[in-house]
Amino acid sequence: MLGPSRPPARSPCEIMPISEEHCMSDAYEALTANLAAADPEIERLIEAEGRRESEKIRLIASENYVSQAVMEATGSILTNKYSEGYAGKRYYEGQQFIDPIEQLAVDRAKELFGADHANVQPYSGSPANLAVYLAFLNPGDTVLGMALDMGGHLTHGHAVSATGKWFNNPRYGVRKDTGLIDLDEVAEIARKERPKLIICGGTAIPRTIDFAGFKAIADEVGAVLMADIAHIAGLVAGGAHPTPVGHADVVTTTTHKTLRGPRGAMILANEEHAKAIDKAVFPGLQGGPHNHTTAAIAVALREAAKASFKDYAAQIVKNAKALAAALAERGFDLVSGGTDNHLILADLTSKGIGGKPAAKALDIAGIELNFNTVPFDTRKPFDPSGLRLGTAAVTTRGMGEGDMDAIAGWIDRAVGAAKDGKDAELEVIAGEIREYTKAFPIPGWRA
């Protein structure tokens, strides 16, 4: 069977809002020339990963493709420097150039999100969240977050996480009939449990988060409100999701998901909490900041402030809605019935296959995503009923709504083939996708 025909190829420069000098076709060779000689084993594996990222349709909702410029900053000599402290108040000499780099990242974060204060030093999303706990709580205090199996994150109080072991964690979820967060239920739990901190945001929430509604509950019970926008930060920056700034007291985010920066994190806060947040990150939780990451965050924030990033954010949502509609048309059961953002959660129960075997089959077929629990899942977390899909990465490659229909078709064929044990069909699909993706080159990889 012939798959959808391949659209004409475009250069990465047409797709990413990056400058001309970063569009060299030999970019991959430039980044790895010395590595190939110094450590051929690692270089070969990086090359293989580059090919994999180029030949597959990547739908993992937390992943993306960063620009060549972000990669160059990440791979720069800034990794050589120790800079404990903050700009102007360091514990090591030689900060003449690190200080302005970090200041640029901070200023751009404040400007982009309209926040009073920004800390760009957290090593990643999980340490950023832990820093907020450290800033506001003592061990044993009560934190109200969203349950992991309902769409929250490990660091929102799951039992195996430090946040679950060291704090008291009542949790909220979604309604069984709608798949949506019920703020009346959240308010009821908050009144009973009197948390010091309330967390909104998560890893598998396909719908708009009502930050004002959460703030009203936090105010009623005297709690600090933290919005964890790790997944949707790029949508917020690009105006495709309402902002928590102005509602939440503290906002945490990773920088590498829809925001399309390096692996890292930021904490945004009101002026009144600025000192507490900075002290919690350093010296409370971390030592020296990763200056190469800080520089790359600054680069990503500059990209995210461009008009083209607004178009990108809007296109992510259009693509997610198109993919959701195309999946629903093919009989996929979507949690909450669809999506408002970049993320789709599909319940495969009606398809007669578990999430894990489906995800493994899709990976063979060239479509990368993750198995995920769905709310009120009757199966176990390591073998749940759902699949989580996101459109941030495919949108970066320049794919549009038409491509989403093709993707839904492949997903449907692959899930059907997996259910019927037709392994050869998975290879056929992988071949079609290898051809198709050639039209969508990725930064940092030769076409």
Binding residues for (6S)-5,6,7,8-tetrahydrofolate: 148, 152-154, 271
Q: Which residues pair with 266 in a beta bridge?
A: 253
- Cβ nearer to ligand PLP, comparing 117 with 156: 156
- Minimum separation from the CB atom of position 203 to ligand PLP (A): 4
- Cβ nearer to ligand PLP, comparing 78 with 128: 128
- Cβ nearer to ligand PLP, comparing 195 with 202: 202
- Minimum separation from the CB atom of position 151 to ligand PLP (A): 9
Phi, psi of 405 (to 5 degrees): -65, -40
Burial label, 220 (beta-carbon count in 10 A; 0-12, 13-18, 19+):
exposed
- Minimum separation from the CB atom of position 82 to ligand PLP (A): 22
Residue type, position 309, single letter? F
In angstroms, how far is the first alpha carbon of the chain from the final one? Answer: 26
Residues that bind ligand PLP (CB under 6 A): 62, 124-126, 129, 153, 155, 201-203, 228, 230-231, 254
Active site (catalytic) residues: 82, 84, 228, 254, 257, 263
- Minimum separation from the CB atom of position 333 to ligand PLP (A): 23
Q: Where are the alpha helices (DSSP H) in 222-279?
A: 233-237, 271-279
Q: Which 3 state secondary structure label does DSSP give 334?
A: strand
DSSP state of 373: -
Q: In the bound complex, which residue of the shown chain has the CB atom lying closest to ligand PLP? A: 125
- Cβ nearer to ligand PLP, comparing 126 with 339: 126
Cα separation, 112 vs 229, whole angstroms: 14
In which residue are the tokens 């309330």 written? 198
Cα separation, 249 vs 16, whole angstroms: 33
Of the candidates 209, 399, 232, which has an alpha carbon nearest to the alpha carbon of residue 313?
A: 232
- Cβ nearer to ligand PLP, comparing 22 with 292: 292
- Minimum separation from the CB atom of position 320 to ligand PLP (A): 16
Of the candidates 340, 69, 7, which has an alpha carbon nearest to the alpha carbon of residue 180?
A: 340
